[in-house]
């Protein structure tokens, strides 16, 4: 019995993640990063020049330097059939120079290449999935120089009784066996509650159906909590994605990140306050930061949001802990306050105060209600209003935020003052 238990432990250590010490977008050498994914803007209509242009724009805009260093080809890169050796192959019209050419291209720019496949016989668009071909496909990706795999589950419906966990695990072993560090990102839309098991063999996992480019309007069939599953093709608004994280944020941990799906910043559907709210929550809640917009056409306002160094620092904080929702100082339907610990340098805590009602409002946050802060006197803390780029005055036992606009988030970082 003991031997079996030991084997199981060793096995799980072998497949556990080594790559994702921080949510995807890290700039330091020992972690992996994320930048951009083709799906939200281009669907399957992208090609070699789309990827070349995006990669060079990541560099020229400063996004790469800020940490966005993966370029991920979502569904649509593949040919409809495998080659005569059973290998997946790129669509030759769209990718005439092949995938290893693209990997070299992005590597020369200091970036990394991501690719997409599916744990079923087919993927969502009936391109060949990897079910039954895991070893072959993992080897193919490694040979091409791929650094990241987004692994979907559309075709899982055709894999009969083999559970998603078993199919995802098979690919995890196949990736490890290649000897190449390939970030493993699961896409199973939160079905079967991956926050309970995905840490065993992946670096990140989607916690919900697809995001919709809208601040607060969901598609039909979307439900609000993490344990209520969407039906049909989910179009989950930014606000609902944040709502679902109330149940999941406590599971965020280095090596296993709940992925709130791609950022819709720069897609032209949100106000500046809404885009800042979107970025604040994705960063603070430790979601991967994956740009979904066409960055060759992005506005300077949206670009500045994505480049905000202080917000990125919150995402990449050493503690890797996500804030929790604080119901006692929130007002359902109008104000939500979240807070959680930070540990980089002197930063102690991040607070998000979102006005999601229709009118401006004041928000009062008593110190005593913030876990981890009860023992600090206000004089010992510096309060940084991140988006306003200024320090706030402390007033007695509470923080008072005046006139917070509709859909605005006040993002505060509290640091201990060095004496």
Please give the residue ranges that form the binding site for ligand GAL (CB under 6 A): 39, 74-75, 124-125, 152, 154, 187, 189, 210
Rounded to a whole number of angstroms, the minimum distance from the CB of residue 39 to ligand GAL is 5
Q: Is 181 a catalytic residue?
A: no
**CA–CA dist 272, 255 (Å, integer):** 32
- 10 Å CB burial of residue 239 (0-12, 13-18, 19+) is buried
Q: Which residues contact 375 (CB under 8 A, 6 or more apart)?
A: none
Cβ-contact 18, 202 below 8 angstroms:
no
Specify the DSSP element, H or E, that contains 4. Answer: helix 2-15
Q: Is 385 a catalytic residue?
A: no
Q: Tokens in use for 395? A: 């007033």
- Point out the catalytic residue in the list 123, 152, 199, 294: 152
User: 50 or 316, CB closer to ligand GAL?
Assistant: 50
Q: How far apart are CA 116 and CA 196, in angstroms?
A: 24
Q: Which residues have C-beta within 8 Å of that of residue 188, sequence separation ≥ 6?
A: 152, 153, 156, 164, 168, 194, 205, 206
Long-range contacts at 368-372 (CB < 8 A, ≥ 24 apart): 368/397, 369/326, 369/328, 369/329, 370/326, 370/339, 371/324, 371/339, 372/339, 372/340, 372/341, 372/348
> In this structure, what are the phi and psi dihedrals at residue 122, rounded to the nearest 5 degrees?
-120, 165
> What are φ and ψ of residue 238, in 5° steps?
-55, -45
- Per DSSP, the residues of 360-402 read -EEEEEEGGGSTTTTT--GGGEEEEETTTTEEEPPBTTEEEEE
Which residues face 36 on adjacent strands? Answer: 71, 291
Nearest partner of 284 among 233, 350, 238, judged by Cα: 350
List the structure tokens of 306.
């994505």
Give catalytic residues, as residue numbers: 152, 210
């Amino acid at each position: 019995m003991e031997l079996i238990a030991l084997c199981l432990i060793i096995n799980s250590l072998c497949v556990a993640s080594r790559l994702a010490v921080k949510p995807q977008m890290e700039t330091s050498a020992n972690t992996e990063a994320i930048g951009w994914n083709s799906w939200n803007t281009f669907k399957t209509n992208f090609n070699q020049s789309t990827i070349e242009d995006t990669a060079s724009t990541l560099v020229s805009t400063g996004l790469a330097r800020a940490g966005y260093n993966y370029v991920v080809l979502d569904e649509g890169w593949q040919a409809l059939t495998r080659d005569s050796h059973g290998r997946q192959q790129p669509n030759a019209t769209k990718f005439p120079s092949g995938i290893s050419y693209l990997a070299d291209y992005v590597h020369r720019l200091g970036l990394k290449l991501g690719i997409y496949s599916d744990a079923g016989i087919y993927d969502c668009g009936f391109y060949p999935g990897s079910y039954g071909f895991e070893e072959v496909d993992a080897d193919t990706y490694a040979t091409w120089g791929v650094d990241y795999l987004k692994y979907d589950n559309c075709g899982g419906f055709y894999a009969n009784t083999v559970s998603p966990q078993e199919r995802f695990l098979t690919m995890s072993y196949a990736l490890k066996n290649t000897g190449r560090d390939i970030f493993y990102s699961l896409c199973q839309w939160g079905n079967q509650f991956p926050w309970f098991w995905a840490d065993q063999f992946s670096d990140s996992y989607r916690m919900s159906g697809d995001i919709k480019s809208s601040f607060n309007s969901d598609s039909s069939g979307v439900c609000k909590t993490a344990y209520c599953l969407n039906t049909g093709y989910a179009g989950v608004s930014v606000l609902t994605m944040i709502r679902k994280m109330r149940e999941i944020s406590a599971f965020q941990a280095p090596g296993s990140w709940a992925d709130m799906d791609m950022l819709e910043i720069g897609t032209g559907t949100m106000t500046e306050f809404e885009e800042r709210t979107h970025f604040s929550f994705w960063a603070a809640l430790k979601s991967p930061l994956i740009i979904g917009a066409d960055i060759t056409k992005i506005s300077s306002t949206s670009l500045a949001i994505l480049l905000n160094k202080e917000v990125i620092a919150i995402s990449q904080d050493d503690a890797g802990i996500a804030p929790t929702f604080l119901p006692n100082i929130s007002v359902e339907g109008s104000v939500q306050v979240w807070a959680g610990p930070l540990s980089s340098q002197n930063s102690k805590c991040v607070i998000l105060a979102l006005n999601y009602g229709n009118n401006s409002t004041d928000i009062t946050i008593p110190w005593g209600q913030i876990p981890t802060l009860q023992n600090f006197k206000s004089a010992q803390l510096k309060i940084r209003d991140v988006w306003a780029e200024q320090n706030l005055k402390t007033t007695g036992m509470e923080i008072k935020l005046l006139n917070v606009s509709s859909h605005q988030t006040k993002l505060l970082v509290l640091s201990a003052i060095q004496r």
